[in-house]
Amino acid sequence: MAQAYRADTETGGTEPQRSGSRFRDLRERLMKDRGIWRRGIVLACCSVLLTLVMAFHARIPNTIGNLGSLSETFLPWIAVFIPLLLILGLVRRSATALIALLLPVVVWLNVFGGLLTDKSGSGGDLTVATHNVNADNPDPAATAEQVAGSGADVVALQELPAGKVAAYEKALSGTYRYHSVQGTVGLWSKYRLSDTRPVDLKMGWVRAMRTTVATPEGPLAVYVAHLPSVRVKLHAGFTANQRDQSADALGKAISHESLARVALLGDLNGTMNDRALNAVTSQMRSTQGAAGDGFGFSWPASFPMARIDQIMVKGVEPMSSWTLPATGSDHLPIAARVKL
C-alpha cells in the first residue's frame, strides 16, 4: 500500500491534490494576466447595447423610418449575436466581455423564455386555421386541400386573386358547406355563417371581413384580415405607415363588436411585439403566445423568421396552436384549437 502511494506521489500526487494544483495554476495565471479585465471592452459594450435594445425596445422611436417597429419585428433574433460574442470573448480571453454577456442572456430569457416551453393542452371545441395563399400560388387546389386536411372547422384565406377564387371554392366545397369571399379574403366553415360584411381598412379596396359562425357552443364573431405589406428600403426605412393605419381601423372595428366571443384570423404583416399593432393586440390574445410550442414563425415559408400570420381571440380560451406544413405559398399556414 505504501509502495502504491509513493508511486502515485512520484507521478504528481493524488487526484484531489492534482486538481487543486491545476486550479492554483489557473488562478495564478489569471492574476498575472492583468489584461483579462482590460481586454474586450468593445465586446462588453456590444452586450450592453443588445441588452438595452431588448429591455427598452418600446423606447426606440418610430419617427425615423419606423425603426422601432422594425426592431420589434425581428427582436427574438437578437439571440444570434450572443454565441458570436461568446466566441469572441473566449478568443480575446476577456473576463469583462464574458461577464457582460450575462446581461443580454438574462434579458432575452426573461422576454422570450416563455416561448421556449410547450404550453399546448388537450381539448377544445373548435379548430381554426388561417393561410395567406399567395396570389401567385401555382396550385390553388393542392394548397386548399392541404389546409382542409388539417381538420380545421373554420378556414380563413387571404390574398385570393379574383381569377383563382373558383379553384379554392371547388377544392374546399367537399369539406366546408358554408363560405364567403369578400374582396381578397375569404372564410370557409362547417357551420352556418351570418351577418357577413366587409371591414373597411382604409385602403380603398376590401381586404378584411367579419362574420358570425354558428358553432355548436354558440355564436362566434370571426374577423379575417390581410393588412398592407411592409418593406425595408434604404431611402425610406420600414415602410409600414399604411399597415399601421389599417391596424388602427381593424382594432376600432373589433372594439365595436357586439358578441363576447371573437376570433381574428389573418396576415397582419406584423408580430405581437410590434407596437404599431397595439390597437388590435391590446384587446386580444395570441393563441401562439398562450398555448403554442415555440415561436411559431410563419414567414417566409422557406426559412421562417417572423410570425406575421396570427390567430387571436377574445372571450375564448386557447388550448393549442401550431404551424402547418408548407404549401405553394410563401407563408406557412397556422392553426389553433380553442375552447368556447
Residue 37: predicted pLDDT:
81
For cell 403566445, name the residue: 289
**The 309-314 sheet, strands edge to edge:** 193-198, 208-215, 218-226, 262-267, 309-314, 285-286
Residue 310: predicted pLDDT:
98
Structural domains present in the chain: 33-116 (no CATH), 126-339 (3.60.10.10)
The total number of residues shown for the chain amounts to: 340
Residue 5: predicted pLDDT:
45
Q: How far apart are CA 270 and CA 238, in angstroms?
A: 12
The answer to whether 245 touches 66, Cβ cutoff 8 Å, is: no
Spell out where the chain has E strands: 126-132, 154-158, 178-182, 185-189, 193-198, 208-215, 218-226, 232-233, 237-238, 262-267, 285-286, 309-314, 317-323, 334-339
CB neighbour list of residue 38: distance below 8 Å, 6 or more residues apart: 96
Parallel, antiparallel or unpaired: strands 262-267 and 218-226: parallel
Q: What are phi and psi of 279, to 5 degrees?
A: -60, -25
Residue 150: predicted pLDDT:
93
**How does pLDDT run along the chain (340 residues), one tens digit per residue?**
545 444 444 555 566 666 667 666 656 665 566 678 888 999 999 999 999 999 999 999 988 888 889 899 999 999 999 999 999 999 999 999 999 999 999 999 999 998 988 999 999 999 999 999 999 999 999 999 999 999 999 999 999 999 999 999 999 999 999 999 999 999 999 999 999 999 999 999 999 999 999 999 999 999 999 999 888 766 556 778 899 999 999 999 999 999 999 999 999 999 999 999 999 999 999 999 999 999 999 999 999 999 999 999 999 999 999 999 999 999 999 999 999 9
> pTM higher than 0.85 for the full model?
yes
Residue 34: predicted pLDDT:
63
Give the three cell numbers for residue 192: 352556418
Choose among 288, 273, 280: nearest CA to 319.
288
Task: Tell me how crowded residue 96 is: count the other CB atoms within 10 A of its CB.
Answer: 19
The answer to whether 219 touches 258, Cβ cutoff 8 Å, is: no
Q: How far apart are CA 289 and CA 306, in angstroms?
A: 13
